[in-house]
Chain A
Amino acid sequence: MTLAEILASLFPRGSSVVVEDGLIHGQGRRVDGSPLHVIGVCERSAVGIDEAAKLARHVLEIIAGEDSAPILVLIDSDSQRMSKRDEMLGLNEFLAHLAKCLILADVLGHATIGLLYGHTAAGAFIATALATRTLLALPGAEPVVMDLPSMARVTKLPIETLQAMAKTTPVFAPGLANLAQTGAVAATLDPQRSLAAQVEEILVANAREAGKDERDVLGKRRNGRTKAADIALRVQELARAST
């Protein structure tokens, strides 16, 4: 789905959501008339220091506002911006700051929902979609941790070998199904149904759950990450017993 189609399906009565320099921000109304904040990245834009600072500012402004409305994070991005300037000025701090703002917003009562509708990769993925409480996706979304040419360079394996392995090894291969299997994506939405109705269902279900991070448990259930949840739990138990 295109961004325009997504916004039309989310907000049939219109919204104040605008796109500026590859970034999304604004507000629409839920079915009951209450507000739903929207921020995000579109047009497969890279997330560098300038973009992360702008998005984080939007989140802090939402937190400073009167309402405790949810925040929908729409994502169709490139990876983090790979440049000398961004790294020189501390891209790691800017991306972490954005993730912190999203996580704080959720803790303060603005339930965060990510909606992955296009591409995303690496650090941009971590600082946006993966920093929301519930990550949703639309069919055709294409999250990748690292593109295969970069992977070939770092692993020193031929790209042909990596391409062949990507077809059979879900834990390393790019793509929505593979990421969903690890527990990254809670649900894939149906583009034929009203997105407003589907997001509403998620918000209602979320309100009932505590804010516990259960993605590792989901990854185990989906057989995409068989060890992570158990290892984390075991360490927690051992730490408790060591006091």
Chain B
Amino acid sequence: MSAASAATRIDDALAQSWYEASARQRVDALLDRGSFVEFIGPERRETSPHLPLFDLPEQFDDGMIVGRGRLDGASILIAAQEGRFMGGAFGEVHGAKLTGLLRAARELRTPVVIAFDTGGVRLQEANAGEMAIAEIMRALLEARLAAVNVIGLVGGRAGCYGGGGLIAACCSALAVSEQGRISVSGPEVIETNRGVEEFDSKDRALVWRTMGGKHRRLIGGAEIFVDDTVASFRAAAIALLARAPALTRAMLVAEQARLETRLDAFGDCADALDIWRRLGIADAASVPAMSYGEFDALGARITEVIHDAR
């Protein structure tokens, strides 16, 4: 292959949609070319011991890819969830891979990038999945307490729901695209429990403006808003890895103040549109249709969210 055609191939990989890409495509294109080394790859066939009980197909990597690679020359640990397998949900094997990676990160003082794409706990192995979430959170926070930077990227098909939302909020910083929905209870779960009057899960505009990336960026739930390309996520990951504020008591005191301020400022708002208006966006209704560039400029004008309070 000529140098020119190799360069074209890399350009194509970086230009592809993050939302449309598989977890493996995201990892390969995000990292410096050819630098990825996988731990317990699909050839090991470490599959879920629980899915066969439900007559569900297994996947050889259980929907979680973990390993080491280089990002802009720096050695990092990386994890990526495959949202197209079981909705990227956390099961026993899937979760344990990330737990092990984060424990290693603390020991080796190596930064981590996590590409989230998950509906939350895998219900067919709910207890194991719930425990995986708890163990991942503890391992992640212990890594941060040792001044290891853990960056989350959110922009996949499955969004970042349930325990995934909690893990994401434990990260040092987050980059999110418009498609990256972050929340605990998903739309269907709220509707099932509280009725369609509380939340109409079929109202896509409502879902996006309540849980989507633009809203998360505006209220400070994510540090960087990115375009839906691998290149944009890569640039954001490099930028966020350059800063490594350790998790400290002062950081959590600052987060307490940040969250209480949010409650005071917007606690009585009925809809995200009200929040956006209160933030000073006169034409709040125009936000969902804004292009990446338009919204990024608006976000920069409205709020600065590199707050070291997470």
Contact of B131 among A99, A170, A182 (CB under 8 A): A182
Residue pair B40, A154 in contact (C-beta under 8 Å): no
| A145 and B249 contact, Cβ closer than 8 Å, known pairs A82-B193, A179-B127, A227-B93 | no
Tell me whether A171 is interfacial, beta carbon within 8 Å: yes
Tell me whether A146 is interfacial, beta carbon within 8 Å: yes
Query: Quick one: CB contact mask for A40-74 with B, threshold 8 Å, 1 for yes?
Result: 00000000011001001100100100000000000
| A97 and B198 contact, Cβ closer than 8 Å, known pairs A182-B131, A233-B100, A239-B104 | no
Question: Number of residues in B with C-beta < 8 Å to the partner?
Answer: 94
Chain A residues with Cβ below 8 Å from B253 are 60
Query: Quick one: CB contact mask for B222-265 with A, threshold 8 Å, 1 for yes?
Result: 00000000000000000000000001010011011001101100
Query: Quick one: CB contact mask for B168-189 with A, threshold 8 Å, 1 for yes?
Result: 1110000000000011111011
A127-164 interface (Cβ within 8 A of B): 127, 130-131, 145-146, 149-151, 153-155, 157
Contact of B126 among A172, A183, A229, A238 (CB under 8 A): A172
A210-243 interface (Cβ within 8 A of B): 213, 215-216, 219, 224-229, 231-236, 238-240, 242-243
Interface size class on chain A is 35 or more
Tell me whether B108 is interfacial, beta carbon within 8 Å: yes
| A95 and B166 contact, Cβ closer than 8 Å, known pairs A123-B184, A225-B128, A231-B93 | yes
Mark B residues whose CB is within 8 Å of A.
37, 39-40, 46, 49-50, 53-54, 66-68, 75, 77, 92-93, 95-97, 99-101, 103-105, 107-108, 110, 119, 121, 123-135, 137-139, 141-142, 145, 162-163, 165-170, 182-186, 188-190, 192-194, 198-199, 210-211, 215-216, 219-221, 247, 249, 252-253, 255-256, 259-260, 262-263, 266-267, 269-272, 275, 310
